[in-house]
Structure 1
Amino acid sequence: MARDNINDILVFIAVARERSFTRAAAKLGMSQSALSHIVRGLEERLGVRLLTRTTRSVSPTEAGERLLQNVGPRLEEIDAEITAITDLGDKPAGTVRITAIDHVIDTVLWPRIAPLLPQYPELHIEISSDYRLVDIAAERFDIGVRHGDQVEKDMIAVRLTADVPMRIVGAPAYFARQPAPASLQDLMTHNCINLRLASSGGLYAWELLHDGQPIEARVRGQAVFTNVHHMLAAALDGVGVTFLPESLVAPHVEAGRLVSVMEDWCPSFPGLHAYYPSRRHSSRALGLVIDALRYTG
């Protein structure tokens, strides 16, 4: 097969996986028009249509799906072998792509990864902030981060943190207007600051614990956000109460800017884990990053 065909197939695979020329162009660092031209040329050479294009979506045809499912993994195997050969050099090299939520990036990932970069000039890190439960294999991430109970069984998991205590908090100014809640019934009367889930589009149900039994509290309030930093800011502004990791709110509780309530209702979630697919060849760059992230107690 001509080398141009291989490069063009890689472009097609990116578009087919993203279901979007726009997202694929951003990921590949190319223009949408260039991607469209490449895919059209590949279709002409193969004599079949690979993508169904509408004004709103892009999806593989039957021929495109076959190319995606049968050829894509083989090209990835070739890429893995080339990476393994590259790793025989003196220094770890290559790009490690990671997906996690913003709070975890700020407090766990970046502080541990940043010291690596001056030491290893050929190491490149790409970190994507995302609240979805990302399929890292399908979206070609090397590492994902989830709580331990959310990691799929076919993944290799490495603990990053101890278990994660949660807290219900509000500002003193808010509690000056409405007494602090002491029960679930009390909580339902409060102005609760909520999280909109990226995966489902629904509101996150607060996962509380009472007398050892898990309870999902579907609370309501005026403010809904899609990330925890905005939820924290709203709580600090006295808008209402919210449910966040202790590590995020602890400095504000200690300084008196927030008050922690209903602590006996707040569980600890299983610790955060980095997870990645079990591969025949894991790159030295990936191993280096995993070792830097690993929880040491």
Structure 2
Amino acid sequence: MLTNSEFGALRAFAAVAETLSFSRAAEVLGVSPSALSQTVRGLEERVGTQLLNRTTRSVSLTDAGRMLFEQVRPSIVDLGTALERLRAMDGRPVGTVRVHTFRIAAELFLTPMLAQFARNYPEVVLDVTLDDNVVDIVANGYDVAIRLGETVERDMVAIRLGPELRQIAVASPAYLAAFRAPTTPRDLLNHRCIRWRWPGHEAPYAWEFNDDGRWFAVAVNGPLIASSREFGIAAAVAGVGIAFGVEEAVTPFIRDGRLVPLLETWSAPFPGFFLCYPQQRHMAPALRAFVDAVKAIR
């Protein structure tokens, strides 16, 4: 039988091996990074071999560490699952649901349900990460994600949320007073465009348009590149240039006259947002409650 300290050390090592980050693993375990590092070093001393390679910028597994991780991870997961099943025996939603969501999806589908969900399930904590990056849900420790249909992995359970989406180009009246409005997407190459960089990509996103069922992209140029679409829309409102955003996000500004829609006949709908999570035989009541609450918003 393992002693408490040995099990704790293995769990600490597995958390670091899973995330390849002492800071992220420490956050998951609820300890300090320094304490976690000390625990892992103690384990290495006990087994007499180095399990992790550490630099100031990265953490990686040694061959011995990889072998140990592959052996202990299934057992730790099984123990966690067993405890979750015990907690869920009465069907009462309790615990933490870790959610990864695109920013605009959070506005559309999470914000409207948060208050009621908190009242209905006071013992459930929603740990929500707002991030437009596409991450591996399982590897990064998330239970569920909300993302565009084109980014959902095939082995995930996917539930459509809301209708199809459109992206449209917009500019302020002041900008259009100074520059003639584009009549085709190619005209954008002669305009000051506010670009957006998809997280994890070096090149800015090329704007996508549709010509009689055929999609094509225009690699626009301009004075501003942002990692936040909301920031880009605000810059367009200020007259910096032409922005490109999801219709739901720009409609309020169009309605009050601060932005003008452009090239609408070239903007076609595409699959919208999906709620997705790994297939599982036993869904925790807390996750089931969250899934049902989000589905009710669509």
Q: How far 1:22 sits from its partner (Å)? A: 2.7
Spell out the pairing of 1:51-66 with structure 2 (5 A cutoff): 51-66=52-67
| Residue 29 to residue 252, structure 1, CA distance change in 2 (3 Å) | same
Q: How far apart are 1:9 and its partner, in Å?
A: 2.1
TM-score, structure 1 length as denominator? Answer: 0.95
State whether residues 194 and 231 of structure 1, in contact with CA within 8 Å, keep that contact through their aligned partners in structure 2. Answer: yes
Alignment correspondent of 1:270: 271
Aligned equivalents of 1:23, 1:29: Cα separation in 2: 10
Deviation by residue 1:80-112 (Cα, 9 ceiling, x = unmatched): 221122111252101000011222212322322
What is the Cα deviation at residue 288 of structure 1? Answer: 0.6
AA matched with 1:238: G
Question: What is the rounded CA distance, in whole Å, between the counterparts of 1:53 and 1:296 in structure 2?
Answer: 45
The Cα offsets for residues 240-273 of structure 1, whole Å up to 9 and x where unpaired, read as: 1111111101011011110000001112220201
Q: Deviations over 1:110-161 (max 9, x none)?
A: 3223311122111110000112111011001001112223211111111122
Residue 133 of structure 1 corresponds to which residue in structure 2? 134
**1:222-261 counterparts in 2 under 5 A?**
222-261=223-262
Alignment of 1:108 onto 2:109: yes
Note if contact 1:95-1:123 (Cα within 8 Å) is conserved in structure 2.
Answer: yes
Q: Could you say what the CA RMSD is over the residues aligned between the two structures, in angstroms?
A: 1.6
Please state how far the C-alpha of 1:3 moved relative to its aligned partner. 2.6
Deviation at 1:219, TM superposition (A): 0.8
For the residues of structure 2 that align with 1:51 and 1:206, how far apart are their CA atoms?
43
Q: Secondary structure at the match of 2:276?
A: strand
Q: Contact between 1:81 and 1:281, CA under 8 Å: does it hold in 2?
A: no
State the secondary structure of the residue aligned to 1:128.
Answer: strand
Mapping of 1:85-164 within 5 angstroms?
Answer: 85-89=86-90, 91-164=92-165
Aligned position for 1:16: 17
Structure 2 residue ranges without an equivalent (≥5): none
Aligned to 1:43: 44
CA–CA distance in structure 2, aligned partners of residues 205 and 233 of structure 1: 19
Counterparts of 1:14 and 1:178, CA distance in 2? 55
Deviations 1:144-196 (A, max 9, x none): 11222321111111112211121111111111110111112211111111111
Counterpart CA distance in 1 for 2:245 and 2:176 is 17
Between stretches 237-246 and 14-23, larger displacement belongs to 14-23
The answer to whether the 8 A contact 2:105-2:147 is kept is no
* Alignment check: 8 A CA contact 1:192 1:219 kept: yes
Question: Per-residue deviation at 1:295?
Answer: 5.6
1:185 aligned partner, one-letter code = R
Q: Give, in whole Å, the separation in 1 of the partners of 2:235 and 2:6.
A: 52
Aligned residue number for residue 31 of structure 1? 32
Q: Please give the per-residue CA displacement for 1:54-96, whole angstroms capped at 9, x wherever unaligned.
A: 2221111112112223322331222122112211125210100
TM-score by length of 2: 0.94
Q: Give 3-state SS (helix, strand or coil) of 2:53's partner.
A: strand
Identity %: 38
- In the alignment, the residues of structure 2 paired with residue 96 and residue 13 of structure 1 have an alpha-carbon distance, to the nearest angstrom, of 20
* Partner SS for 1:188: helix
Alpha-carbon separation, structure 2, partners of 1:186 and 1:3: 67
Paired residues, what number? 297
- Aligned amino acid, residue 51 of structure 2: L
2-structure distance, mates of 1:17, 1:203: 30
Counterpart CA distance in 2 for 1:129 and 1:25 is: 20
Alignment-derived partner of residue 213 in structure 2: 212
Q: Could you tell me how far apart the structure 1 residues matched to 2:34 and 2:132 are?
A: 30
CA distance 1:291–1:90, change in 2 (3 Å): closer
How far apart, in 2, do the equivalents of 1:34 and 1:57 lie?
18
- Cα distance 1:43–1:199, how it changes in 2: closer, same or farther (>3 A)? same
For the 8 Å contact 2:186–2:218, the answer to whether it is kept is no
- 1: distance between equivalents of 2:15 and 2:203? 29
Q: Are the structure 2 counterparts of residues 220 and 54 from structure 1 closer, same or farther at C-alpha, using a change threshold of 3 Å?
A: same
How far off its partner does 1:47 sit?
A: 2.0
AA aligned to 1:276 is Y
The answer as to whether partners of 2:14 and 2:72 remain within 8 angstroms in 1 is: no
- Cα 1:128–1:296 change in 2 (3 A) is closer
Question: C-alpha distance in 1, partners of 2:214/2:46?
Answer: 62
